[in-house]
Structure 1
Amino acid sequence: MSERQVRLGLAAYGTGWDAHAWRLPQATNAGLRDPSVILDIARIAERGKLDYVFAGSALGSEPNHLQRIFRWDNFIYASQAAAITKHVGFVVSVNSSFEHPYLTARQVATLDHFTGGRAALNVVFGIDRNGGPDLNLGGNAIPDEQSKYTRGREFVEVVNKLLYSSWDDDFLLDDRANNQLIRENSWHRINHTGEHFQVRGPLNVPPPTQSRVPVVQVGTSDDSVQFGADLAQVRFSPYLGVERGKAEYQRIKDLVAANGRDPEAFKILPGATFYIAGTKREAQRIYRNVINSQVTEEIPRAFSVALGIDLSRVRNNERVVDIIDLESLSPTAFDDFLPPLGTEKRHIHNRDDRESIRTLVSAVGEDLTLRELYHHVQRIRQAAQPALVGDANTIADWVQENFEERVLDGVQFFPPYHRGPADLLVDLVVPELQRRGLFRTEYESDTLQGLLATDNG
């Protein structure tokens, strides 16, 4: 067995992650109102010995945005899912631009106790700015690009003070004869006065079970990345391909090491949506059904400019391999195509677009059409993650290559729809990774910090 082990997580969303796969005849969309659908994700993850389940949160109201409609409260979800599992961890999200560190510290400490040390905290700064979250929360102003980072950093620092500096470990005296339940001087006010928060303390919940509840960082700006190197233990990262991913992986690890921390204890986990079946051909059929379910009246001219082709001279159903010369294509061909896809994913310009097309042709087949490529590009650039299409060996090969090349320490898997893909992941891919000695066969720790092998920051 490899000394270094892959870390795996599974995302829990009501309809799955794919914005179009809900239209497949085998998909169920009951998860928008039936919690059992995503509670099943926790059971499945534990059956596969996965590290954690991630249930993203949202504060904005975006009824036209499938991935943000009807987001269950992730603390309540994690509490319920923990009651039906014993080992798998739970990553819950808070938004430091709108939420308060005292309330968050209460929630995460409570969750960590009730789960027996299986909680992690994903802190986002501004990812929920769309949909008017400020209008749902009293009209408070949204922090600007700079202040959201200073607020986020202060937010986590206050949470940490409340969690780990409020109480001594031996606070419970339980001296019944002398009428003294709490040890004298065992609690401490943190008396924090900062630019964004004033918190007296102490926290009115006992310290967490874990010596350090893992903090998860997501974001690509220099401020966000530095925050992660300073205060986080895990990074949810965009996937940039093998070569660029290796360079970014090393850059992040070097920032962690510069803080005197062990870079191996800091885990980098890109997300990936997976389209899996018993055979590669069946997986290709499923993915093509998904991308062809997207409605496009006309491929925009900006897409043809990016590819360097004249759309008036080619048909939408022509094969990509017949009309595009990948060798002469720019690695940033789609950068100018980003504005029509939305500005919030501009960080994906670091990815090699030629590699994305080659990967797609390899996954789907050389009969990939121009229209299918257009739909695929829309999808992967908005999601900041690759689409893995194939059987168990195909997906295990991708994980192994990127793991051994040190592009990642693990993968956050996003089922495209429910039910089915999550089961196939743990029943087909996980055993293959175990056979290759890359993933555990039994849980080796009772805490999420132990499973992820993260440090105390």
Structure 2
Amino acid sequence: MSRRRKLRLGLAAYGTGWDLDAWRLPEATNSGLRDPRVILDIARTAERGTLDYVFAGSALGSEPDRLNRVHRWDSFVYAAHAAAVTENLGFVMSVNSSFEHPYGVARQLATLDNFNRGRTALNVVFGIDRDGDPVGNFGKNPVPTEETKYARAREFTEVVNRLLHESWDDDFLLDDRAGATLIRPGSWHEIDHHGEHFDVRGPLNVPPPVQSHIPIVQVGLSEESLRYGADFAQLRFSPYFGVSRGKEEYRRLKERVAANGRDPEKFKIIPGITFYLGGTVREARAKFNEINALQLTQDLPAAFSRGLGVDLSRVRDSERVLDVVDIDTLPDDALRPLLGDLGRDAEDDRELLRRILGTQIGEDATLRELYHHVQRSRHAQQPAVVGDARAIADWLEENLEEEVLDGVQLFPPYHRGPADLFVDLVVPELRRRGIFRTAYEASTLQGLLDTDDTY
């Protein structure tokens, strides 16, 4: 009998959770925007569930009018603080190579990896075109163009890795008190880097990290971004494309890594999901629909009329979808203008709509509930997985076994409650199926994720 693949799980820490509307629930806690105890609790919950890591997204732009970006804790400070109250949990920090300098980032990484004893990973992003004008916050600091940001990201990563892993020999500490020699002579090395974007002499003035290689995370869909991932990364935070297309994307990414002479099994593909969990499927759907009812969706009826070819302007949104729409007569791509490629795991959009009604919002769903589901999917840019512990475990197991993913990054819609429910209900079910650990089996994040030493 072959060994079952093991699922990797990370938990995202945001001050109000990830959902754009769930913060309005009576039970939601929104003090996480200014009280670090709220997202510290996320770390404790993740470790209680033996999850691999917590991810704290970062942002450099100023966007006070966008809920998920209004306040972003500095991820290094958060990780250092949370590491002090945990023992095994890993932490993934984000830096933007278009703005940051590799020497400063390497100092932070090496310090944190020593302080938390090897529980550190780095998410390198290089976007410069997001809202919020991050360029405006950095004055005259040189920022690359859209064309040169990839070359800068590659050089940035090379320099960070060399500073971390080539500056010092492991036996640098001689501690010869009689001979008055603390540091072993010749145990440090200048990297003497002179590139297009950076000049860095070295060595790093921080001891080498505990891990033999700090895992690098890649995001992005462009060809240059995917090439960067195959060359440098150990993890990919990927969109979720559905089962059929997801299997193909998974295979292609693994082949890219293998073509570089690396072990594709050591390269982990991890999409994100927002999960809506209840003690029963009925409870989960009720909570999901309660959150959906908080949305404003004035533009969607007209968009659905165009996509579905049905004039909905004179139809009450309380009508059942199946009473208004004849799914069999819809075009193959009826939902593409509304959903794009998000979760496109069906042969055509007739099947996709049936799946949405069957597994997400229920076959008795109203037009209003369908509008809300689509609006939520568009905002979150990831699938909403709704159900009880068994249903969510089924979704995770199917995608793992079909080789769509190696793990999942979990985005709780709000605090607190969803993360605790996942740990208390879903994790035991995953353990029962033999696809998730019962205890931490490695002391470093590199060991937990089973990644390689490539850099």
2:107 equivalent to 1:106: yes
In structure 1, what is the Cα distance between the partners aligned to 2:311 and 2:161?
56
Return the offset for 1:375. 2.5
Deviation at 1:319, TM superposition (A): 2.1
Give the corresponding residue for 2:178. 177
User: Alignment partner of 1:368: what SS?
Assistant: coil
**1:47 matches 2:48:** yes
Calculate the TM-score normalised by the size of structure 2. 0.94
Q: Aligned partner of 1:290: which letter?
A: I
> Residue 55 of structure 2 aligns to which amino acid in structure 1?
F
Provide the alpha-carbon RMSD of the alignment.
2.0
Q: Which whole-Å CA distance do the structure 2 matches of 1:37 and 1:279 have between them? A: 27
Matched, 1:440 2:437: yes
After superposition, residues 32-431 of structure 1 pair within 5 angstroms as 32-126=33-127, 129-140=130-141, 142-299=143-300, 301-312=302-313, 314-326=315-327, 329=330, 332-337=333-338, 348=342, 354=349, 357-361=353-357, 362-431=359-428
Partner amino acid, structure 2, of 1:395: I
TM-score (norm 1): 0.94
Q: Which residue of 2 aligns with 1:456?
A: 453
On the 8 A contact 2:240/2:343 being kept in 1, the answer is no
Per the alignment, in what secondary structure is the counterpart of residue 258 of structure 2? helix
Cα separation, 1, equivalents of 2:330 and 2:345:
14
Contact 1:275–1:416 (8 Å) recurs in 2: yes
Deviation at 1:334, TM superposition (A): 4.1
Which of 42-51 and 310-319 deviates more? 310-319
Contact preservation (8 Å) 2:338, 2:374: no
- Structure 1 CA distance for aligned equivalents of residues 128 and 40 of structure 2: 25
Segments of structure 1 that go 5 or more residues without pairing to the other structure are 339-345
Judging changes above 3 Å, is the alpha-carbon distance between structure 1 residues 107 and 424 closer, same or farther for their aligned structure 2 residues?
A: same
Q: Report the CA distance between 1:367 and its aligned residue.
A: 1.9
1:170 positional shift: 1.8
CA contact (8 A) 2:400 2:407 kept: yes
**Identity value in percent:** 66
User: 2:90 and 2:40 mapped to 1: Cα distance?
Assistant: 13
Residue deviations 1:87-130 (CA, integer Å, cap 9, x gap): 01001110111111111100011111111000000011117721
Q: CA deviation at 1:348?
A: 4.5
- Separation in 1 of the partners of 2:332 and 2:177? 71
Judging changes above 3 Å, is the alpha-carbon distance between structure 1 residues 351 and 400 closer, same or farther for their aligned structure 2 residues? closer
- Letter of the 2:448 partner, please give it: L
Match of 1:341 in 2: none
- Identify if the C-alpha distance between structure 1 residues 182 and 374 changes in structure 2 by more than 3 Å, giving closer, same or farther: same
Rounded Cα–Cα distance in structure 2 between residues aligned with 1:115 and 1:358: 47
Give 1:335 shift. Answer: 4.1
CA distance in 2, matches of 1:366, 1:335: 21
Q: Are 1:392 and 1:429, in contact at CA under 8 Å, matched by a contact in 2?
A: yes
Q: Which runs of 5+ in 2 are unaligned?
A: none
Counterpart Cα distance in 2 of 1:109 and 1:4:
31
Following the alignment from structure 1 to structure 2, what is the Cα–Cα distance between the partners of residues 328 and 108?
56
Give the partner amino acid of 1:411: V
SS of the residue corresponding to residue 8 of structure 1 reads strand
